[in-house]
Chain A
């Protein structure tokens, strides 16, 4: 289980952005590929842990799951992969080893609450 170290990297990365921009992070948007080797549920619970005692405490992790798309050399086209247990073209059954998408592990956006201006 390496989701805790992944969660800590996410928090670290968000903190770096926070240092540059200021404000408060309320949510982190993550793209998570089906071939990233990271389990969504485990990552979500580790995220909460990783946020404790950091400026991200209380923020949400919003995960956008990315399915696998392969390239079929026979059809010369991108095809969605129907099963991780069978890397072949959904149209012509040609074995396909080229992965076009599905390995993502990427912070794509942050929701930042600007600090409220001082009422005085």
Chain B
């Protein structure tokens, strides 16, 4: 007669492999003094236009580079390359999110000298669900919504808002046309992530970009000179 199955305690994080790689990346980034920002949003919310503007405006003062994830095509990398910043496309095939190992191999392939970078941006695949589970070793996760998506996106995707550090509301130039309710959007963001900093801006006109770039600059400074305790 077969014995009863035994229950063996294990207690292991399912994503431990990703977490180990992410921790390694974070250590490398910090040792090199590069501040790493990842971007998540729905498809079509204007992530690439926003990142292109960010890179273009930062480039005169900072050394910047970007990794950009997509299921297919190199289109985003080509668009971002117009900013003159070094850009590397990561094509994920059918995978709906980036994982730390993909960031790691992209960096190995490109052989960028991290010591000579101030900011590294990682644009995730357009998806407000799956990227939330994967740490990429970033310092800051930015979730982007556009005014054309409506004010209730945060309520529909609380998990990704909860995994992010700051929110950007973009395409502000279209706000009037779509009767976007700024107060309602802010209220919804604060409902799912109390205290989250929110920036409203237009990557197209540049309105509101300076405030957000100042925020990034401050965070970079803090990385280089940790506040005295």
Contact = CB atoms under 8 A, between A and B. Distances in A.
Interface of A: 1-2, 5-6, 9-10, 13, 17, 21, 23, 26-27, 29-30, 35-38, 84-88, 95-97, 99, 105-114, 116
B14 A13 contact: yes
B78 interface: no
B7 A111 contact: yes
Contacts of B96: 1-2
Given A5-B95, A113-B3, A10 B8 contact: no
Contacts of A108: 9-11
Contacts of B17: 9
Interface stretch (B54-62, B113-121, B127-135, B217-225): B127-135
Contacts, number: 106
Contacts of B8: 17, 21, 109-112
B159 interface: yes
A107 B193 contact: no
Interface residues of B, number: 36
Interface string B10-32: 11111111000000000000000
Given A2-B130, A17-B10, A35-B162, A105 B15 contact: yes
B130 A30 contact: no
Contact of B132 (A17, A23, A37, A112): A37
Contact of A84 (B2, B99, B158, B195): B158
B111 interface: no
8 contacts: A6-B14, A10-B14, A13-B10, A35-B159, A36-B159, A37-B163, A99-B162, A108-B11
Nearest to A95: B194
A21 B5 CA distance: 13
A30 B10 contact: no
Nearest to B162: A35
B213 interface: no
A13 B97 CA distance: 21
A116 B2 contact: yes
The 7 closest A-B CB pairs, nearest first, are A95-B194, A2-B130, A37-B132, A111-B5, A37-B133, A84-B158, A97-B194
